[in-house]
Amino acid sequence: MNTERPRRQCAILAGGKGTRMLPMTESLPKSLLPVGGRPFIDHQLAWLASEGITDVLCSIGYLGEMIRRHVGSGGPWGLRVDYADEGSRPLGTAGALRLASSRGMLDEAFAALYGDSFLRVSIPGLWNSFLQSGAPAMMTVLRNQDQWDRSNTIFESGRVILYDKGARSPRMQYVDYGISVLTRGLIERGVPENEPADLAPLLTRLSREGRLAGYEVFDRFYEIGSPAGLRELEAYLSAREGCR
C-alpha cells in the first residue's frame, strides 16, 4: 500500500526586514525571533507539517542565509524545504512569488503564508474548498469586526465580494487571515517579472472581478509583526503548554 502523503506545497513569505521589530531584527530575520524559546519559523513549520504540507518554499531576502542555515532541507519537521532568494533587492510578497515561478519552483497550486503569521486553520479543508471553488485564488478570512485588526473584506457565501485594505465600509466585517491558496498561472499572468509587487493589490483586483474565493476561519490569528503581537503569541503558547 502506498502511504505517501499527497504533495502539497506552501510558500512562506519571509523576505522582509521586519522594521517594526527593531532593534531585535537588526541581527536576526523576523522568522528567527525567539517565541516560546524557539525560533518563530519552527512553530510555523511544525504546524504546516501537522496539517499535511509536504513541501515548503521559503522566500527569503533580508538575512535570508540565517534562515537557510537554521531550517536546512526541512528534515527535522519531515518536510522538503527549498529557497527562493531575492537578495538585496526587495520584491514584495507577489514579486517574490513571481521570482520563484520564473525559477520553476512553484507547484500548479500552492499555499502562501505570511512569514510573521501563526494560524489555526485546517489546511486540508482549505485546500479541498479551493479545488471545489474553481477560482484562481482562495483567501482565508476571519469575522473580525475591527477587533484584531481593521476589517478590510466583504465576504458572502464563499466569495470575497471585496478585499481592499484602503476602503472603509460598514459591510466590511472580515479581515484577511494570513494564508491563501493560489495558482501558478495567476502569479505568472498577474505579476510582472523582476519588479516589486505585493499580493494585496492582486487579490483586490481579483475580488473586484468576482474571481476570489473565500474560506472562513473561526479562531483568531497571531502574528509577530509588532511587539504587541509577539507578546500575545507568547502568552497564547504559554497558556497552551500549561493545558497539556
Q: Mind listing the pLDDT tens digit for each residue in 58-88? A: 999 999 999 999 999 999 999 999 999 998 8
Q: Which three cell numbers stand for residue 190?
A: 498577474
pLDDT score recorded for residue 244:
55
Paired residues of 61 in beta bridges = none
CA-nearest of 45, 217, 220, 47 to 138 is 217
Residue 1 is predicted with a pLDDT of 36
Q: Over range 2-15, report the average pLDDT.
A: 86
The model's pTM is: 0.93
State the Cα angle at 92 between 86 and 97, rounded to 5°. 65
Q: In this structure, are residues 74 and 80 in contact, taking their beta carbons and an 8 Å threshold?
A: yes
User: For the chain, what is the mean pLDDT?
Assistant: 93
Residue 234 sits at φ, ψ, to 5 deg, of -55, -45
Q: What is the pLDDT of residue 215?
A: 97
Amino acid at 231: R
Q: What is the DSSP letter of 221?
A: P
Grid coordinates standing for 235?
Answer: 502568552
User: What's residue 165's pLDDT?
Assistant: 87
Cβ atoms of 46 and 77 closer than 8 Å:
yes
CATH topology of domain 9-242: Spore Coat Polysaccharide Biosynthesis Protein SpsA; Chain A (3.90.550)
d(CA 20, CA 88): 19
Cα–Cα distance for residue pair 192/197, rounded to 1 Å: 8
Give the model's confidence band at 31: pLDDT under 50 very low, under 70 low, under 90 confident, else very high. Answer: very high
Grid cell for residue 83: 529557497
Write down the pLDDT at residue 146: 76
